[in-house]
Structure 1
Amino acid sequence: MNGAASRPSIADHPVAHQAVDLDGLVGDGPFAYCRGKLLASPPPAGIVIPCRDLGDRDVFDGIIARYAQKFPGSDRRAIVSMWTLYYFSMLTIAPTVHMFVNRIALPLEMDRLSLVCNGETGEPDAFVMSDRPEAAADPAAELHRLMLGHAEPVIAAIAANAGVAPKLLWNNAAAYLSWILKEIAHRHEPALVEGGLALLDEAAWPCGRRNPMFGMIRIARQQCGLEFARRKVCCLRYNLPDVGGCGEACPLPDGRH
């Protein structure tokens, strides 16, 4: 297991605000799946839209209509929820690794990012950042800033545009955030992510506002005694054809298949 002293960091660079190779920092190691998710410039292919434009119903409906072609005749709420699972996995997994492992502050506010979607399917593929990363002294504070500056407004926008309950969307975000924080704890040390886990486990955020992710991930126990994480709100993916269920993580029996 790698200790704190061996973690690569933006702070190791002579000029903290210089261009940073985020993909190079994760390399081929245990977090290699983070590569290609946070870009400094738009890719040659795909649909690129400012994240703030997801609040425009016509823009959002256009992307979802493209994605919905995979699931003709299916429940639109389930389609939207499934699309956001891609979105929130990108918004939480790679950024959290860079915040807590590499000590990087990323420009992730909703009005500072653009979304890259697959030109054919509409699936979220990556984010394009408008500003450069900087050194982060407090990863938990950066994660809190991400929740307030991006997760909260985009969830409000999607819920308003799609008629999906905000608590379902918050649970989608919380599921990925909980998973990656525990992965980091396993790969490094639990103390590294204590501040991040508090943003999931405490009823109020450091700013004093109610934590919408509080209680969204519950620890359950199988008959054999093995503990596992279970969502509070079902993501509805079991309503989509050819999409596997969540197993024991689903709060509904129908979604565990």
Structure 2
Amino acid sequence: MAYRTASLTETVIRHSVAHEPAPSLADALRNALHAHRPHLLEFLRLDETPPPRAMTLAEWTRPAELRALLACYSDHLYRHKPGQPRENKPLLSLWAQWYIGLQVPPLMLALLTQRQAIDLSPERVRVEFHETGRAACFWMAVHQDKTAILEPPVSRMEKLITRTLMPVVCALEATGDINGKLIWSNTGYLINGYLGEMRSLLGDELVATLRQRLFFSPQLSDGQHNPLWRTVVMRDGLLVRRTCCQRYRLPDVQQCGDCTLK
């Protein structure tokens, strides 16, 4: 009788394990980020309820909304030097570095290390802005991009360029205060640096392939101009930024450690 009870228990356990639900895509991505770069979860929330003040791309790019965010950020940066003439170009450059710098690394890790691909449609994302006016956290409704599951890493990165980055750069360029090339230069520098950080996950061959296609091919696979083309260049055997980001022109903001002006 004891033997029959034990057998029944084992059967129930096997049945339960066999029917245990697979983790959702959001859970899989969250686990991957936690395992490899846990600090990125501070900036990307997956399938969590965003705060009421978080905005979609379509909302924050409205001229009045964007002007208010940039005015708030300008007030913050110039708070200690209110009499200094304000420069919008470096301000927008640094604002974009915050926005893209927080959003892109976790999306790169998700796209390049997971079999399933996350849907990058802008309407899936809401942005929570810091009290100073710059981006603070991204809240993403996670859906699978079923068309991308068999796509190579290069194609996934090109979708990141066209679906996620191009609308942001276009919106900032539309202010008339910055040329989109400067934002793309900053972005290429960021992506190249993060590819280096991901080398242990991706391997030397894939990192080299991605760098070649992203930075040294003038066109994307669909024939569009590649905005990351030559945003980093080879100097002394290293890929380095091509142009200065201009942030040093802002009060109390130092030059980058590898500024091209040094």
C-alpha displacement of 1:133: 4.2
Q: 2-side partners of 1:207 and 1:16: how far apart? A: 34
Q: 2-side partners of 1:173 and 1:180: how far apart? A: 11
Residue matched to 1:206: 221
Paired letter, 1:87: Y
Q: 2-side partners of 1:178 and 1:57: how far apart? A: 31
Residue matched to 1:146: 160
C-alpha displacement of 1:97: 1.0
C-alpha displacement of 1:58: 0.8
C-alpha displacement of 1:15: 4.7
Q: Give the direction of change, closer, same or farther, for the CA distance of 1:137–1:164 in structure 2 (3 Å limit).
A: same
- 2:125–2:140 CA contact under 8 A, matched in 1: yes
Unaligned runs of 5+ in 2: 1-19, 79-83
Match of 1:56 among 53, 62, 75: 62
Residue correspondence of structure 1 range 125-144 to structure 2 within 5 A = 125-133=136-144, 136-138=149-151, 139-144=153-158
Q: 2-side partners of 1:161 and 1:33: how far apart? A: 32
Matched, 1:26 2:36: no
C-alpha displacement of 1:24: 2.6
Count of aligned positions: 232
Q: 2-side partners of 1:116 and 1:76: how far apart? A: 22
Q: 1-side partners of 2:215 and 2:116: how far apart? A: 20
- 2:50–2:126 CA contact under 8 A, matched in 1: no
Q: 1-side partners of 2:115 and 2:208: how far apart? A: 15
Matched, 1:180 2:194: yes
Residue matched to 2:180: 166
Paired letter, 1:231: R
Q: Give the direction of change, closer, same or farther, for the CA distance of 1:174–1:103 in structure 2 (3 Å limit).
A: farther
Q: Give the direction of change, closer, same or farther, for the CA distance of 1:153–1:62 in structure 2 (3 Å limit).
A: same
- 1:101–1:184 CA contact under 8 A, matched in 2: no
Deviation per CA, 1:126-183: give whole Å up to 9, x if none.
Answer: 2122343467433322221121112112211110125200100111211111111122
- 2:129–2:135 CA contact under 8 A, matched in 1: yes
Q: Which has the larger radius of gyration?
A: 2
Q: Give the direction of change, closer, same or farther, for the CA distance of 1:18–1:35 in structure 2 (3 Å limit).
A: closer
Residue matched to 2:81: none
Residue matched to 1:3: none
Residue correspondence of structure 1 range 41-80 to structure 2 within 5 A = 41-44=48-51, 47-72=53-78, 73=84, 74-80=86-92
Residue matched to 1:243: 253
Q: 2-side partners of 1:28 and 1:15: how far apart? A: 18
SS at match of 2:155: helix
Unaligned runs of 5+ in 1: 1-12, 222-226
Q: Give the direction of change, closer, same or farther, for the CA distance of 1:134–1:194 in structure 2 (3 Å limit).
A: farther
